[in-house]
Amino acid sequence: MRTQLAATLALSCAALFSAGAHAQAVKTQDGILVNSAGMTLYTFDKDAGGKSACNDQCAKIWPPVTAAADAKASGDLSIITRDDGSKQWAYKGKPVYLYAKDTKPGDKTGDNFKDVWHVIKP
């Protein structure tokens, strides 16, 4: 059942994140969500109420996973509006990010960074 759920989530993510110039195809790899390039996806504990608390300099280090204007939310995936008006994917209401210091697929160097950044485990 868990494998089926993960597969369904991965397919939904791939479909949702594949549209648009800045959108990212998503899949489950080694028990975490990654983009189509295999780069780890993260959430931030200081985000609340479907709003990103990571802007400006923070967003340079933790780039938001942006959603295309025509992207459609489904299941655990939703779309939030950032302070600058851009759209960002969220997983279970938490905005989704990459980490600039992850340099190759499979890197998880941002996991538990300052105890507030975490890999996404579906």
- Please give the model's pTM, rounded to 2 decimal places: 0.80
Query: Whose structure tokens read 């279970």?
Result: 92
Owning domain of residue 18: 2-119
Query: Rounded distance, CA 17 to CA 27, Å?
Result: 10
In the predicted model, what is the mean pLDDT of the chain? 84
Instruction: For residue 24, name the pLDDT band (cuts at 50, 70, 90).
Output: low
Per the structure, the count of domains in the chain is 1
For residue 31, the model assigns a pLDDT of 95
For the segment 103-122, the average pLDDT, to the nearest whole number, is 97
User: Is the pLDDT reported for residue 69 higher than 90?
Assistant: no
